[in-house]
Each structure stands twice: as C-alpha cells, then as structure tokens.
Amino acid sequence: MSTLAEFAEQLRLAGLRPTRQRVAIAALLFDGRHRHVSADSLTEEITAAGLRVSGGTVYNTLNQFTEAGLLRRVLVHNEYSLFDTNTDHHHHFYEASNDQLLDIPNDDVILAKLPQAPDGHEIKAVDVVIHIQSK
Amino acid sequence: MSTLAEFAEQLRLAGLRPTRQRVAIAALLFDGRHRHVSADSLTEEITAAGLRVSGGTVYNTLNQFTEAGLLRRVLVHNEYSLFDTNTDHHHHFYEASNDQLLDIPNDDVILAKLPQAPDGHEIKAVDVVIHIQSK
DNA sequence: ATAGCTGCAAATGCTTTGCAAGGCC
DNA sequence: GGCCTTGCAAAGCATTTGCAGCTAT
C-alpha cells in the first residue's frame, strides 16, 4: 500500500510534475497488482472512482508514463493500445475472442536462445505474444 | 515465375474470385520473394506498375488474402498494419527508427521451449518481435 | 511569476462501410 | 442473369493536437 505522497515522489523522480490527475492515475494503476489497461478501461476506472480526467489527458498520461518507464505498451492487435503495469521483462498470452491479455508465468522457459541482431544493431527489447483460443 | 492464370487458380483455390484487381495484387505480392507491405506501400506499388485499384479494395483484398492464409498480419506498432507474404512460421526484427521489418533468419534458435497454455486453451500462434536499434 | 498541465474540441490518419455500377461464372 | 466485387465517398475510431485557462514550484 502506498500513500499519495509516495506516488507524487515517484512521479517527481520520473521527471513528471505530480499533478492531481497524474497522482490519481498513478494511484489507480500502481496498486501493487499487475494489470493491463487501455485508455478506455482506465477512463472507466477513473469514473468509477468518482474522479474526472479529460480524454486527452488520459492519453497523454499513458504516453508519459510509458516514456518514463512506469508502463509498458503491449502490442497484440491494432484496434487500440494496451499498457501493462508490469514493466519487468515478461511475455503474454492473448486470447482474441474476448480480447484478454494474460501474463505468462515463469516465462524464463521461452527465450532459451536469441538470434544475433543484424550487423551494427543491438537488441532493445523482445516481445513474445502467444495467441491462444479455447479448445 | 508464375503466370496470371496460375495466380487466378491460386485465388480460386482460396475461395476468392479471380478478379482483375485481385490477380494484379497477387502478381505483385507473390513474386517468389518474401516481402512486407502496408496498404499504403502496396498502393504505391500498384500505381508504379501502371495499374489502379481503389483504396477500399486494397484494404479489403489485404484482409481477404490474410483470411485465406495467403498473407500474415504482423504486429509491430499500431500506426498501421503490415502484412508479410511469408506465411510460414517465422519471426521478426523490427527497427522503429526507420519502421523497418526484417525476417529473422534461422529462427529455430528462439523457441526452444514453450509455456503451457492456460487450462482449456490451446496455442494458436506465437509471435516474436525483437526490437533493434543501430549501435 | 512562469513553465508546465489540463480540458475541450477540432483535427488526423488508418481502416471500414454503404450503395450504385460493373464483372465473373 | 445473379451474385460477388469494385469504386468512391462518407463514416468510424482511437489517438493527437491547438489553444486558452489553470496550477505546481
């Protein structure tokens, strides 16, 4: 459990002014659990919490948090963007039928080996999405 | 090298009427090389070939080809969609700085092991995108 | 005070869709 | 001929942006 002051400090460290909206969003997102949100689902959550943040600001905040390394953008489809509060290195299962994203537990089993990056390049990130469907 | 009649036959087998536009697009896409196209780059290519296919039809065709298994949609960003003419199981390097997508040669080194799909589910596809940048 | 934010609405860009005209079987 | 396709333009959506007013510091 964190206090609002701690969220403010976390934002300050990330180079972001701890404004009312950003602290509120941080408090919703970084409650200790790992979650996946879209601009839309986050807006609903904000509303459910009795708060109000304009649409543009939700998008801006999501992008700023991502740039600051507090969130990670996950690519599973191109209808809209999803953000993961878990920025550690890990991968995902994605079920298209209900647009559900799941963290892969114990993902160390996957990347036993990596290919060499092309000459003059280095690997920045590795995204693995395993598409699944009900049997 | 394939003839137009062969492309027509390929489309028919895929359950698609071999219309002028579809055959033309197939001839451009399936020339034996493996390529990555967007709706936009494909339209340019069509124009460069002295042909004309309306924008909506380019999108429809790309989707129909994908559904028919002739193309594979690759997710690397969500600015716009990319399609790969190589539908075999393989993975990609992606360089964001110039929006360049590269097939990973010899990709068997990667997926030494796969995690178990969640209960009641099965793995449909595995997408690996390795983001790279120049050193 | 002032640089940085927010809100709102308009703008953007890719993609889809509706409908009339045209082409494949 | 009948049904699937195409073309074109309009509509759709997620996201970004411009600008005036607000707010952390």
Residue B53 contacts strand D, CB under 7 A: yes
To the nearest 10°, report the CA torsion of A53, A59, A61, A67: 180
Q: Which nucleotide in the DNA or RNA is closest to residue A40, CA to C1'?
A: D14
* Whether A55 CB is under 7 Å from strand C: yes
pTM of the model: 0.93
| pLDDT value, residue A128 | 94
Q: How confident is the model at residue A108 (pLDDT cuts 50, 70, 90)?
A: low
| Residue stretches of chain B with pLDDT short of 70 | 1, 106-109
Secondary element (H or E) of residue B13: helix B4-13
pLDDT at A1 over 60: no
pLDDT exceeds cutoff 80 at A66: yes
Listed as own residue / partner, the contacts of B65-70 with beta carbons closer than 8 Å and 24 or more positions apart are: B65/B14, B65/B16, B65/B25, B65/B26, B65/B29, B68/B14, B68/B15, B68/B16, B69/B14, B70/B10, B70/B14, B70/B26, B70/B29, B70/B30
Cβ atoms within 10 Å of A14's Cβ, excluding its own: 16
- Contact assessment for residue B67 and residue B15, using Cβ atoms and an 8 Å cutoff: no
Count the alpha carbons within 13 Å of B37 in the hemisphere toward its beta carbon.
Answer: 26
Give A114's pLDDT tier (boundaries 50, 70, 90): confident
Tokens in use for B12?
């028919």
Separation between Cα atoms, residue A25 and residue A31, nearest integer Å: 10
Whether A133 shows a pLDDT value over 70: the answer reads yes
Residue B75 CA to residue A80 CA, distance in Å, equals: 12
In CATH, what number does B4-132 get? 1.10.10.10
What average pLDDT does range A83-92 have in this prediction?
A: 94
Average pLDDT value for chain A: 93
For residue A125, what are the contacts with CB-CB under 8 A and spacing of at least 6? B130, B131
Residue ranges of the domains in chain B? 4-132
Average pLDDT over residues A63-86: 97
Mutate to test the interface with B, among A92, A128, A131, A134 (most CBs of B within 10 A): A128
* E strand map for A77-120: 82-84, 92-95, 100-103
CB-closest option in A112, A133, A135 to B112? A112
CA distance A91 to A101: 10
pLDDT score for B108: 63
Q: How confident is the model at residue A32 (pLDDT cuts 50, 70, 90)?
A: confident
Picking from A117, A116, A83, A89, the residue whose alpha carbon sits closest to that of residue A101 is A83
The mean per-residue pLDDT over the stretch A84-100 comes to: 94
Q: Which nucleotides of D are covered by protein (CB under 7 A)?
A: 4-10, 13-18, 23-25
- Name the residue of chain B whose CA is nearest to A125's CA: B131
Nearest CA in chain B to A119: B134
Percent of chain A with pLDDT over 90: 84
Nucleotide nearest to B64 (CA to C1'): D5
Q: Model confidence over A74-83: pLDDT tens digits?
A: 999 999 999 9
Give the closest nucleotide to B21 (alpha carbon vs C1'). D6
Closest to A39 (Cα-Cα) out of A67, A23, A61, A68: A61
Q: What is the pLDDT of residue B4?
A: 87
